[in-house]
Structure 1
Amino acid sequence: MSDTDTHDQTAEPITDEIHDNSWSANLEKPQYADDAELAVRDALVAIDHTTAGNHVNLVTHGDLGHPEEFLYDAIEREYGLDPEYVEQCGCGGHVTRVQVA
């Protein structure tokens, strides 16, 4: 069984509700530290669960590096949206804002 398969069975969904407001998705938990694929998957789910006119802040684990390296292409390809880098957190994570049209 691959690490991804294990995560699929044990990882809680990033959200199961539709957010009709701006919000933050915490992709900094330990399960994301070495799994960029899981971070991308859950970031896309977070965007799917954000209504038009709002934004979601995607807070990614610092061990994954700058989100431009692993996340931005997937967001642009899937939604045609332009992610905006906000800042690096004091703990090492990164905040990317995605405005949902």
Structure 2
Amino acid sequence: MSHSHEDVPPVTTEVHDNSWSANLETPAHAEDPDVVVEQAIDAVEMTTAGNHVNLVSHADHGHPETYLFDALAEAFGETISVEYVQQCGCGGHVTRVHREA
């Protein structure tokens, strides 16, 4: 079953003035890599400069370097740094995005 992007609850509704993690591993995220990218960008936008967000993405889409890194670079340019942290035991992936000051 496919979800429209509007049907997927937001990953956050508040600005984070600290480092935090965004869960992009729900069934809706597994079904649509575009939702993962859209909500990853939202998560970075909601993270203040000097902090990072760990984007925990679904294993179904493979390594985030293949679909997420370029989208983040296009959206934020040199205002972020992106680091692949690890693959989780469940198969998902953790990508750390640091907002530069």
TM-score (norm 1): 0.92
Letter in 1 for 2:63: H
Q: Distance in 2 between matches of 1:8 and 1:37?
A: 8
- Percent identity reads 55
Q: Which runs of 4+ in 1 moved over 3 A?
A: none
Unaligned residue ranges in structure 2 (runs of 5+): none
Is 2:58 the partner of 1:55? no
CA contact (8 A) 1:75 1:82 kept: no
Q: Distance in 2 between matches of 1:70 and 1:34?
A: 14
**1:1-101 to 2 correspondences below 5 Å:** 3=2, 6-80=3-77, 81-101=80-100
Shift of 1:28: 0.6
Aligned to 1:9, what secondary structure does the other structure show?
Answer: helix
12-21 vs 78-87, greater mean Cα deviation: 78-87
CA contact (8 A) 1:59 1:95 kept: yes
Letter in 1 for 2:86: E
Q: Distance in 2 between matches of 1:25 and 1:33?
A: 15
Measured on the aligned residues, the alpha-carbon RMSD in Å equals: 1.0
CA contact (8 A) 2:11 2:43 kept: yes
Unaligned residue ranges in structure 1 (runs of 5+): none
CA contact (8 A) 1:34 1:64 kept: no
TM-score (norm 2): 0.92
- Give aligned pairs, total: 97
